[in-house]
Amino acid sequence: MLHSLFRILFCLLLGFGLTAHASAQESDASGAEALSQAIEQAAESGVSVLVVDSSGRLLNAPPETGRQEGPSASGAMEQPSALMKAQSRVAAFRAELNSRLEALPYSVFEMQYILRQTSPDGRIMTYVEVLGWSVLFLLIGRWLSVEIYGKRFAKGFVVARIRETPEGYQEKMPFLVFRFLMGIGATIFAMIFAALISYLIFGASGDPSIEFTVTAIYTAYFLARTVSDLWRMVLSPFLAQYRIPVFSDRDAKRLYIWASLLATYDISSTLFATWVGDFGLNYNVYALVYGVLALVGTLGNLLMVLVNGRAISNAIRAGRPPEDCSWLVRFLAVAWAPVLMVYMVFGWLKLAFDLVLEHEVSIPLMAGSYFVLTTILVVYGAINYVIERYFRRSLAVQTSSAAQDAAPEAGGAGADTETAQPDGASLEAEEEEGEEAALPKVKHPIGTYEDLARRVAGILAFVVGAYSLVIVWNPDASWLKTTAAERVVDVTVILFIGYIVYHLFRIWIDSKIDEEVGDVPEAELGDEGGAGGASRLATLLPLFRGAILAVVLVSIVLILLLELGINVSPLFAGAGVVGLAVGFGSQTLVRDIFSGAFFLIDDAFRKGEYIDIGDVKGTVEKISVRSFQLRHHLGALHTIPFGEIKVLTNYSRDWVMMKLPLRVTYDTDVEKVRKLIKKLGQKLMDDPVVGHTFIQPLKSQGVIEMQDSAMIIRVKFMTKPGDQWIVRKRVYQEIRELFAREGVKFAHREVTVRLAPDQEEEVTPKQKEAALGAVQAAIDEDMLEDMGGPGGDDR
């Protein structure tokens, strides 16, 4: 009865309101019609009419001509600043939060009412029972999946694929992915078991709220187990040989436990908050539950970063000390932790603002960070697997072809194995040669195509991660369709392609240079020089490399300028004018460049050859456009412009004749010495260490000079350029031992001072010292006359 009475009163009030509103509209319409008629009559009579409202504002003011559209200066000053807007938002957030907290007790009552209404039996504990039974069945299914699925089915497949020492992504990734898929199978096995047991015990519920609750629980379990298996694949805490990042066993297990537990909590809390929101409960309760659970998860993630920060920084450096890493790696190893912690705190604050102000909540930023990290790891691992598989296959093909080419020569090489064994003298010579090691070469960090591919893989993984982060922050990403964003993308793509092209050319030219100089032995530091230099192509390729890389770099810059809408035609005209000015004003520079070009065209010298240009001599170490550098065998480095060369002597071409003078006494049998030297020459030709360096054997040229105290017998031999110094050491050693055995005596330098018979007893000490000084000067002069150039005496 009371309910019917309320309905009648409500209908009467509604009818009265509609009638009053209609009458007001009719009166307003009639008044407006009368006003318009009066204005039209006044206009026909030539009278101007102004209509003013109660506040004094003109309603029919004619539009002013010439006024600029848009906000005026005063209007711009009236616009609030960014600081004012931020303060307003914080004030609105504080006010909204206070109102929601004040209404929270009523919201809890409303939530209880909704849960009771949606529950099939009118009890709230029904949902708790569903949660408990579902978790229990899933845990039992998990245990059975380990005991039945894991130990009796999957273990055989997984253990059979374990290797003792897998290398690289090619051998590690297939096993890790296979084990990850087997873990997914175990998770599905546990979910199927739990669903079957639940159905057999409780049957089909048929209630949408219960089915939705069970779906949320099973989804949380599946996602948590999948993320845990993914972390297990990345960290490999129990199989150290398959671990890709550099972690110790202790650090890997600790980080795996932290990451798995926090991932389980984050997923469960997010899905629980989603269940609260989708269930239609009170929004205040949803915002409070979601915010508190997210705060606890954020604190846990911050604690994980603090506990595992040092191990992760070491993994970023790949286990190397900071001084051995590039500046970018050192920066990432230091900056990742504070940046990530600030990101976590900001993510929770943004989530809290969105929840309190009832804005649309997208993917939580913490879950988004896991998504970005997973994307980077998957992309980087997949690309590196493809890279290693391709390059290992190419290397296997090259190795097999090289083995086939070397197989026919194996028989011939085996026959000479015994004669190729070095004796004690050769071992001693090798030890003497290895006393001074060559300076280490500094190689480019991107030295091969595989290094370039790995660098590109890292860049692509970073780009994919950045795009994933953009999607997390702004799922719509409408700003990506703007002209500025498209231009930035085009410039980035051009730079990326230019980076790849630049390094492709550089690696190709460097590989050609290595092929040309790979078989040329490097001279020992401190040798007099004269070793055979690099090939002509190896000498010219560095110059071509600089020119080609300059062309590539200039082309990339011009393409970028064109993409940015800059006219590059004036640049070409300016380059012509600058080139003309350089040509007129730098005649010495032009002379050096042209002289160097003709020297290189004439093949006058090559890199690594020993040359003499009159004032300085040394080994050609570096060749540029206008000059080259000579390294003297004592270490001095000379830089000589090409235009300053008048005469150039090259000691590293074709052959070298070495002539050695021997001072013997006058009673020496010259014919005997000739025969001994001839036999020694034949012996040295068969020597395993220096025999292959001879072009002509050691010979005696007989007596070439008669001095006061000795006969000068000269021996000579011809070798390859640069080998004469090693052979000379060996020849001197063998001749000394040979002469000692055969009784041939070396003559020592002597100067005879004769005095008159009547002056022998009158010589004073000062006169004796003067005589000794004259003797020493004569000896030094004879020694200087005997000294020759790098090739010895040419007589």
Burial class (CB within 10 angstroms; exposed 0-12, middle 13-18, buried 19+) of 295 = middle
Q: At 294, list the tokens.
A: 């997210």
In the prediction, which pLDDT does 72 show?
A: 47
Fill in the amino acid letter for 369.
S
Q: At 644, list the tokens.
A: 């300053």
In the prediction, which pLDDT does 136 show?
A: 93
Distant-in-sequence, close-in-space partners of 567: CB < 8 Å, separation ≥ 6: none
In the prediction, which pLDDT does 221 show?
A: 94
Extract the residue ranges of the chain whose pLDDT is less than 50. Answer: 1-30, 47, 52-58, 63-77, 409-440, 525-526, 787-795
The DSSP result for 77-124, as a single string, is HHSPPHHHHHHHHHHHHHHHHHHHHHTHHHHHHHHHHHHHHHSTTS-T
Instruction: State the distance between the two ends of the chain, measured CA to CA, in whole angstroms.
Output: 143
Length of the chain: 795
In the prediction, which pLDDT does 465 show?
A: 74
> Edge to edge, what strands does the sheet with 711-719 contain?
656-664, 711-719, 694-706
Closest C-alpha to 795, from 663, 701, 655, 708 = 701
Helix (H) / strand (E) containing 637: strand 637-641
Report yes or no: 625 and 542 within 8 Å, Cβ to Cβ: no
Distance in angstroms (rounded) separating the CA atoms of residues 369 and 375: 10
Distance in angstroms (rounded) separating the CA atoms of residues 413 and 570: 66
In the prediction, which pLDDT does 323 show?
A: 85
Inter-axis angle of helices 283-316 and 82-102, to 10 degrees?
Answer: 120
User: Which pTM was predicted?
Assistant: 0.59
Give the angle subtended at the CA of 203 by the CAs of 202 and 208, to the nearest 5°.
Answer: 100
